[in-house]
């Protein structure tokens, strides 16, 4: 098993503590959320959280037919309104990958949560998964690991970067402040060779936090969006 230690993160299986907060998201056409879920969210996080989830579903419905570049900008801007909070302060653990619903309901998360929410939302809006990757990078100006979403218009093109540090959707060649380390999506895992290319090294199941995330999202969603 590959061992990735960026951000001093040790990939661990999560305990079941946060599973006490059960989200039952039903994705249809148009997407809907059960009233039971909305009631749980209102109880735990208040009416503003309820409205964020409704706004999320409305966004996916309203922009489903837009071109992919428009979707990238809309989704990136939507999630970048959330607050950045470290996992230990927000979830009480060193590293927790929140589902999009958990991220929106709590209105905060770290760079992984921003990226996961963008990836899944674009997937549910019809962007092919082979054009999307979640990418670990080193943020050179901050001297720390970071996570972004990268979008490949074609397999050989320079990817576009969706980021919460810089809100502009820019080509990776314009993001010299980011040094790619590795990337993944539902189809595989790549080690970075440059800002535009990577070497596929295996399946995403090598990342245990991803497995745990997928299991929780599968329990939330009727239409799976890996």
Report whether pLDDT(148) > 90.
Answer: yes
Whether 92 is in a domain gets the answer yes
Mean local confidence (pLDDT), 17-32:
36
Whether 74 is in a domain gets the answer yes
Whether 5 is in a domain gets the answer no
What is d(CA 31, CA 44) in angstroms, rounded to the nearest whole number? Answer: 22
Q: What is the CA radius of gyration of the chain?
A: 17
Whether 90 is in a domain gets the answer yes
Joined tokens for residue 158: 């320079």
Tens-place pLDDT, residues 151-189: 999 988 999 999 999 999 999 999 999 999 988 887 667
Whether 8 is in a domain gets the answer no
Q: What's the pLDDT band for 29 if we cut at 50, 70, 90?
A: very low
What CATH code is carried by the domain that includes residue 85? 3.10.620.30
What is d(CA 61, CA 45) in angstroms, rounded to the nearest whole number? Answer: 24
CA-closest candidate to residue 36, choices 51, 27, 49, 23: 23
Tens-place pLDDT, residues 86-133: 999 999 988 898 989 899 999 999 999 999 999 999 999 999 999 999
Domain count across the chain: 1
State which residues form the domain around 128. Answer: 21-219
Whether 16 is in a domain gets the answer no
Whether 1 is in a domain gets the answer no
- Residues 1-40, buried b or exposed e (16+ Cβ, 10 A)? eeebeebeeebeebeeebeeeebebebeeebebeeebbeb
Per-residue pLDDT at 190: 63
Whether 193 is in a domain gets the answer yes
CA angle 207, 208, 213 (to 5 degrees): 105
């Amino acid at each position: 098993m590959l061992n990735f230690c960026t951000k001093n993160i040790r990939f661990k299986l999560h305990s079941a503590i946060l599973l006490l907060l059960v989200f039952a998201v039903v994705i249809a056409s148009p997407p809907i959320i059960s009233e039971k879920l909305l009631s749980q969210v209102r109880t735990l996080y208040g009416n503003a959280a309820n409205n964020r989830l409704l706004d999320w579903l409305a966004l996916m419905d309203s922009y489903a037919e837009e071109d992919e570049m428009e979707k990238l900008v809309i989704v990136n801007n939507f999630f970048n309104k959330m607050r950045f909070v470290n996992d230990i302060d927000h979830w009480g653990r060193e590293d927790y990958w929140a589902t999009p619903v958990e991220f929106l309901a709590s209105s905060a998360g770290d760079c992984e949560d921003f990226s996961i929410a963008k990836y899944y939302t674009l997937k549910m809006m019809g962007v092919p998964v082979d054009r999307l990757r979640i990418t670990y990078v080193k943020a050179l100006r901050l001297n720390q690991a970071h996570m972004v979403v990268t979008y490949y218009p074609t397999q050989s093109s320079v990817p576009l970067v969706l980021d919460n540090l810089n809100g502009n959707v820019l080509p990776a060649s314009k993001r010299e402040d980011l040094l790619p380390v590795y990337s993944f999506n539902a189809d595989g895992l790549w080690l970075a060779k440059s800002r535009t290319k990577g070497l596929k090294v295996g399946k995403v199941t090598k990342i245990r936090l991803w497995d745990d995330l997928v299991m929780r999202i599968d329990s939330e969603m009727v239409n799976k969006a890996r």
